[in-house]
Amino acid sequence: MSIYTDLAMELREMNPKLGGIEEKDENDGEIAIKRINILSDEASAKIGKAKGRYISLDAPDLVMRPLDLFEHMSACLKKELNALIGRDASECTVLVVGLGNHRVTPDSLGPEVVGRIHVTRHIKEYMPEAFEYPVASVCAIAPGVLGLTGVETMDVVKGVVERTKPDIIIAIDSLASRRAARISTTIQLSDAGISPGSGVGNKRADLSKESLGVPVIAIGVPLVVYASTISQDTIGLIADETGLHNDEEHLKELAEQVISKHMGEMIVTPKDIDAIVTDMAGIVSDAINSALFGERLSDVRNLIA
Amino acid sequence: MSIYTDLAMELREMNPKLGGIEEKDENDGEIAIKRINILSDEASAKIGKAKGRYISLDAPDLVMRPLDLFEHMSACLKKELNALIGRDASECTVLVVGLGNHRVTPDSLGPEVVGRIHVTRHIKEYMPEAFEYPVASVCAIAPGVLGLTGVETMDVVKGVVERTKPDIIIAIDSLASRRAARISTTIQLSDAGISPGSGVGNKRADLSKESLGVPVIAIGVPLVVYASTISQDTIGLIADETGLHNDEEHLKELAEQVISKHMGEMIVTPKDIDAIVTDMAGIVSDAINSALFGERLSDVRNLIA
Amino acid sequence: MSIYTDLAMELREMNPKLGGIEEKDENDGEIAIKRINILSDEASAKIGKAKGRYISLDAPDLVMRPLDLFEHMSACLKKELNALIGRDASECTVLVVGLGNHRVTPDSLGPEVVGRIHVTRHIKEYMPEAFEYPVASVCAIAPGVLGLTGVETMDVVKGVVERTKPDIIIAIDSLASRRAARISTTIQLSDAGISPGSGVGNKRADLSKESLGVPVIAIGVPLVVYASTISQDTIGLIADETGLHNDEEHLKELAEQVISKHMGEMIVTPKDIDAIVTDMAGIVSDAINSALFGERLSDVRNLIA
Amino acid sequence: MSIYTDLAMELREMNPKLGGIEEKDENDGEIAIKRINILSDEASAKIGKAKGRYISLDAPDLVMRPLDLFEHMSACLKKELNALIGRDASECTVLVVGLGNHRVTPDSLGPEVVGRIHVTRHIKEYMPEAFEYPVASVCAIAPGVLGLTGVETMDVVKGVVERTKPDIIIAIDSLASRRAARISTTIQLSDAGISPGSGVGNKRADLSKESLGVPVIAIGVPLVVYASTISQDTIGLIADETGLHNDEEHLKELAEQVISKHMGEMIVTPKDIDAIVTDMAGIVSDAINSALFGERLSDVRNLIA
């Protein structure tokens, strides 16, 4: 039981001198972009994330929900998405997978995003004449979570991949962060695949290029902090401040006591998490729709409404 | 454009003398059970339903929502389900499929039922020691609708069937009825398969023993009447009463005028459809859980809570 | 039992030659504006609407949900609202009342709009220094419906009016239309007050300047058609077409038969009513927020987020 | 910033030797009942709760959601409610007030309960002949929260009280607990009034016999723990274990650092809070309906359905 985070940027902070990792920072005044590239197997094993590129967009002012910044964040996410797609989306079949449980608010981001994706695959198949221009063939599923379905997410996705044969998969999930301040302000992109349930449950078979045979772009948004992380951080800070580090084993025992006594499966979340999930689902789905349809976005939207 | 219904009992009413059909009625004072068996290909083609058994449970007093009758209806449905399953459920792997669109209230019955099914397959797989008794291996998915996913329901289900290898599939869907009075009072069971989207959309590839290689038990609840059915019925009644039958062509034209002018894709539904869907999802899910887990129901419920 | 509508424009259509009514039409190519002014008590009694101004905005293309038209409709509604308010909103206390039942989708427009109004009254009261500029003092309630609360809407509103002393009340409600085509395309404004529950229930004590001592601006959106209206219209059309008008009494009897047999409390609504309510709540709440906060809208939004 | 709880039983634990308080424990093997009576003004001021009776029902096994225990808890709550009402409910007018914000899951208990109360007042008023037996006149409102309405809860309730003249008010709210383990296992009743917003917001004018002139029975369910409470508890435990109590000021500073850095307005809540709120709303509303309607419960339910 220790500090848990799904964010590569936070894992890097906790392992600042680890080799085998490249990083690069940009900042446009509103959004800080951090690019982390996990290159070696060793670094991957140490840091607990698959090899590949991780891009985090961080806009602390999002916490105040200014509409302009929503649009800016969405535009920035679109640009990064198009770079990861790396080709003309209008020639691609794209499967969007919304991971998570729509009955658990902080875990419902994936299904919420899927509900806002402009889906075109069935129209291209059954009414190809509806589009007079090249347009991405987009489909989208929310496979549910193991605890509700009894079926591994991977098993649902694999079946759909075999039948729809996508060129690219975009998977969306809620993440766990180390710091509550990141909730609602950060979005992480990656080409390294994603573990369903890592946000608020157990690790399961990864969705990745290795397992599915198709490039997987993961978009994750931190929406919870494990309560155990808060306790652990509190103890760490006290150890630092009181010079009790020589007593580290004793402190770890204490941490376990507090955690088992108070928190079981508790999560830390803002009171307005319902509104935050709605806002973030808007930012992410706008970015995906724009990245996939480009200048044809409003034509597609009007057609499928 | 004509009168549309998914209910075998209503189709039979409209074709009372058609051969190749067996029927049988029971009534316990509260619930009328009608058993219709479509035997011949000819009858099937004429009536527009696949060959097989259709059992409708009809309890007009359900419209007043008495709790006792909810329980009675659920117990009756359980009994019929167990008869259709035809073997000891505790030895089976069962896949429950909730058809329909969770974002459209009258079409959300299937996903609502799925959310209340006690799912055990993952526990049997990962913690087999948790059950000290024989118990059904149950999994449950809500595959979404073509218009939201861009993927045929059949394609999602087939992938899951290949991986979970169920012995039986139970599929739940909202249906369209000819008469508004049936909404919230009738449940139809069948072993003849089901067409996703027949309730409030277009016909698609059937889920059936033929297409999936596994017996499919369909449970449907009428929750809408097409507005066009109301107009058609109004015109039919007037034709009967006014002796205008010699002018049938003219009346059909009139019907089409009214329908195209007023109704497009309109449905007729009770004002309290949100509450009705909740109630019917409770009746159907209680029946399925009881049919699958029998005397072990409360043990299973407590284990998975 | 006859054709029922809450829309002044439809009532006018049905009584085209009635005196004591002024009307005026405008059209900007996308939105048709009809201004009806019921002037005499006699016209009011005949048409069944209180004396006063009724303004309907009608944009048939809204049915296809183009984003541009959403914004155009919202801007047009804002302009009409500001004209009805007739003074500088930043000097006013405004009470927004969302009528209807949040548990019944087509009746949930009012509560949905209330949830999107930028509320400032408590901030002006407890942290007046937060606003460095003149700003409307806005409060908003969703009083519920008689069937769920057991309390007349009027009784809840009156108590709040006594304590908050608003200069203006803006009341939002779902309406019933005669034609399904109006659902999602029309918005009606009025300065003649509003009857809670007229949309999908019984008439109750009106919210109006007479009853509350404060000007009431009503905003209504047609979201249902009574099923009985469809039957009635079908019969009317047939009577017209078949020349059966000499047999009018008989037709009325027929209508009553069809209606009582088939429809009870049924409503006609589009399948995608859940999405339509969300869209219309967005258009109406954007218009109200813009009308009340003008150029300060984004400042207010950022402050209260 | 310190440990915060709305539960009298937890406040008593933190002040075990304080005078002016009576307490009594019962336990039937499944439910532990603790009765705390705050008698003196001094004890009230010290402990931060109004004078009066506080009864907590605590059933740790509820965490596993066994249906039998739900019914047992509901029956136990009904009995305590009837004792606090202290008279024949069928002769009373009762106003049920659901405090909290229906858009924030852990704060939505009050509105959820209100939606399940059998409301009879309007029927007794407009169709008195519907009841052939004495029956409580019940009405129910969810006044919303200050941050969404801009109106003090007290101002909404006072207006409704003036018009409905209830004999008893029953107010339901979400509470904050010190320990996460209490979430979903504890219910607190009181005759000492309730502060809207104490659960997840600021204190406001109390609803109480003093302020409203009518006895107020409060029912509260702990559904959140403030994240600051967790940090504070962690630090307290470490102080105990490490003998750092001589350094108490320093530890308080540390606590404030952790809290301000990590948590702002964060709450700790179980992942399955959506399901817990539904379950607890069922237990509480069943108890209220049973307490108010007694043997007539099913008659009333059938009548108003």
Nearest CA in chain D to A227: D268
Average pLDDT score, chain C:
88
> Read out DSSP for A90-120?
GG-EEEEEE-S-TTSGGG-HHHHHHTTS---
Cβ neighbors of C295 (< 8 A, separation 6 or more) are none
Q: Pick from B120, B121, B144: which is nearest to A142 by CB? A: B144
Interface-testing mutation among B151, B152, B211, with chain A (most A C-beta atoms within 10 A): B151
**Lowest mean per-residue pLDDT among B78-87, B262-271, C28-37:** B262-271
pLDDT of C37 above 50:
yes
Q: How far apart are CA B305 and CA D105, in angstroms?
A: 19
* pLDDT tens figures, B165-186: 999 999 999 999 988 888 889 9
Would you give the distance in Å from CA B207 to the centre of its chain?
A: 12
* Residue D9 confidence (pLDDT): 96
Residue pair C4/C198 in contact by the 8 Å Cβ criterion: no
Tell me how close the Cα of D87 comes to any Cα of chain B, in angstroms: 28
Q: In the structure encoding, which two tokens stand for residue D69, read together?
A: 């225990």
* Residue D126 confidence (pLDDT): 87
Q: Average the pLDDT over C240-266 and give the result.
A: 64
pLDDT of A249 above 60:
yes
Q: Pick from D65, D68, D302: which is nearest to B305 by CB? A: D65
Residue pair A33/A249 in contact by the 8 Å Cβ criterion: no
* pLDDT tens figures, A84-124: 999 999 999 999 999 999 988 999 999 999 999 999 999 99
* Residue A201 confidence (pLDDT): 42
Q: In the structure encoding, which two tokens stand for residue C13, read together?
A: 């259509």
Tell if the CB–CB gap between A266 and D262 is shorter than 8 Å: no
Q: How far apart are CA B191 and CA C45, in angstroms?
A: 58
In chain D, which ranges are continuous DSSP H helix?
8-14, 41-47, 67-85, 109-114, 121-126, 146-149, 153-164, 209-212, 227-242, 248-262, 273-293, 297-304
In chain A, which residues have their Cβ closer than 8 Å to the Cβ of B103? 115
Q: In the structure encoding, which two tokens stand for residue A174, read together?
A: 């809620």
pLDDT of C220 above 50:
yes
Nearest CA in chain C to D138: C150
Interface residue ranges in chain D relative to chain B, Cβ cutoff 8 Å: 64-68, 298, 301-302, 305
* Residue D219 confidence (pLDDT): 98
Nearest CA in chain B to A163: B155
Tell if the CB–CB gap between A274 and D105 is shorter than 8 Å: yes
* Residue D181 confidence (pLDDT): 82
In chain C, which residues have their Cβ closer than 8 Å to the Cβ of D122? 146-147, 150-152
Q: How far apart are CA A157 and CA A175, in angstroms?
A: 20
Q: In the structure encoding, which two tokens stand for residue C255, read together?
A: 């209508």
Tell if the CB–CB gap between C65 and A298 is shorter than 8 Å: no
pLDDT category of residue B161 using cuts at 50, 70 and 90: very high
Residue pair C169/C216 in contact by the 8 Å Cβ criterion: yes
Give B204's DSSP letter.
-
Q: Pick from B139, B146, B159: which is nearest to A149 by CB? A: B139
Residue pair A192/A51 in contact by the 8 Å Cβ criterion: yes
Q: How far apart are CA B224 and CA B244, in angstroms?
A: 29
Tell if the CB–CB gap between A298 and C67 is shorter than 8 Å: yes
Q: How far is CA B16 from CA A68, B32, B57, B232, in A?
A: 65, 18, 19, 19
Interface-testing mutation among D62, D63, D67, D290, with chain B (most B C-beta atoms within 10 A): D67
Tell if the CB–CB gap between D156 and C141 is shorter than 8 Å: yes
Q: Pick from D141, D155, D158: which is nearest to C149 by CB? A: D141
Q: Percent of chain C scored above 90 by pLDDT?
A: 65
Q: Which chains touch A (3 or more CB pairs under 8 A)?
A: B, C, D
Q: Pick from B233, B235, B262: which is nearest to C180 by CB? A: B262
Instruction: State the count of interchain CB pairs (< 8 A) between B and D.
Output: 24
* pLDDT tens figures, D111-133: 999 999 999 999 999 888 999 99
In chain A, which residues have their Cβ closer than 8 Å to the Cβ of C65? 301-302, 305
Q: How far is CA D211 from CA C67, D193, D195, in A?
A: 49, 9, 11
Q: Average the pLDDT over A217-237 and give the result.
A: 83
Number of other residues whose CB lies within 10 A of the CB of residue B127? 10
In D86-152, which ranges are continuous DSSP H helix?
109-114, 121-126, 146-149
Tell me how close the Cα of A173 comes to any Cα of chain B, in angstroms: 17
* Residue B52 confidence (pLDDT): 96
Tell if the CB–CB gap between C64 and A301 is shorter than 8 Å: no
Q: Pick from C67, C298, C302: which is nearest to A301 by CB? A: C67
In chain C, which residues have their Cβ closer than 8 Å to the Cβ of A302? 64-66
Nearest CA in chain A to C64: A305
pLDDT of B246 above 70:
no
In chain C, which residues have their Cβ closer than 8 Å to the Cβ of D163? 151-152, 155, 158-159
pLDDT of A247 above 80:
no
In chain C, which residues have their Cβ closer than 8 Å to the Cβ of A285? none
Helix (H), strand (E) at residue B17: none
Q: Pick from A180, A181, A266: which is nearest to D269 by CB? A: A266
Q: How far apart are CA B263 and CA B35, in angstroms?
A: 34
D216: which strand partners?
Answer: D169
Phi and psi angles of residue C35, each rounded to the nearest 5 degrees, phi first = -110, 120
pLDDT of C287 above 90:
yes
Would you give the distance in Å from CA B248 to the centre of its chain?
A: 34
Q: Pick from A150, A156, A162: which is nearest to B120 by CB? A: A150
pLDDT of C240 above 60:
yes
pLDDT of B146 above 60:
yes
Q: How far apart are CA B228 and CA B260, in angstroms?
A: 9
**Lowest mean per-residue pLDDT among B165-169, B283-287, C145-149:** C145-149
Q: Average the pLDDT over D142-158 and give the result.
A: 93
Q: Pick from C64, C298, C302: which is nearest to A305 by CB? A: C64
pLDDT of D302 above 90:
no
Nearest CA in chain D to A263: D180
Side-chain half-sphere exposure of D210, counting CA atoms within 13 A = 9
Q: Pick from D146, D150, D163: which is nearest to C159 by CB? A: D163
In chain C, which residues have their Cβ closer than 8 Å to the Cβ of B274? 103-105
In chain C, which residues have their Cβ closer than 8 Å to the Cβ of B258? 230, 233-234, 237
pLDDT of B234 above 80:
no
In chain A, which ranges are continuous DSSP H helix?
8-14, 41-47, 67-85, 109-114, 121-126, 146-149, 153-164, 209-212, 227-242, 248-262, 273-293, 297-304
Q: Percent of chain D scored above 90 by pLDDT?
A: 66
Interface residue ranges in chain D relative to chain C, Cβ cutoff 8 Å: 102-103, 114-115, 119-123, 137-144, 146-152, 155-156, 158-160, 162-164
pLDDT of B71 above 60:
yes
Tell if the CB–CB gap between A159 and B164 is shorter than 8 Å: no
- Report angle CA B104, A297, B152 to the nearest 5 degrees: 45
Q: What pTM was estimated for this model as a whole?
A: 0.90
In chain B, which residues have their Cβ closer than 8 Å to the Cβ of D305? 64-66
* Residue C9 confidence (pLDDT): 96
In chain D, which residues have their Cβ closer than 8 Å to the Cβ of C137? 150
* Residue C202 confidence (pLDDT): 45
In chain A, which residues have their Cβ closer than 8 Å to the Cβ of B138? 150
**Lowest mean per-residue pLDDT among A247-261, B273-287, C132-146, C189-203:** A247-261
* Residue B260 confidence (pLDDT): 61
* Residue B262 confidence (pLDDT): 60
pLDDT of D296 above 80:
yes
Q: How far apart are CA C284 and CA C115, in angstroms?
A: 12
**Lowest mean per-residue pLDDT among B155-169, C126-140, D1-15:** D1-15
pLDDT of D51 above 70:
yes
Give B194's DSSP letter.
B
Tell if the CB–CB gap between B151 and A121 is shorter than 8 Å: yes
In chain C, which residues have their Cβ closer than 8 Å to the Cβ of B103? 274-275
Instruction: State the count of interchain CB pairs (< 8 A) between A and C.
Output: 24
Q: How far apart are CA D284 and CA D282, in angstroms?
A: 6
pLDDT category of residue B133 using cuts at 50, 70 and 90: very high
Tell if the CB–CB gap between B151 and A159 is shorter than 8 Å: no
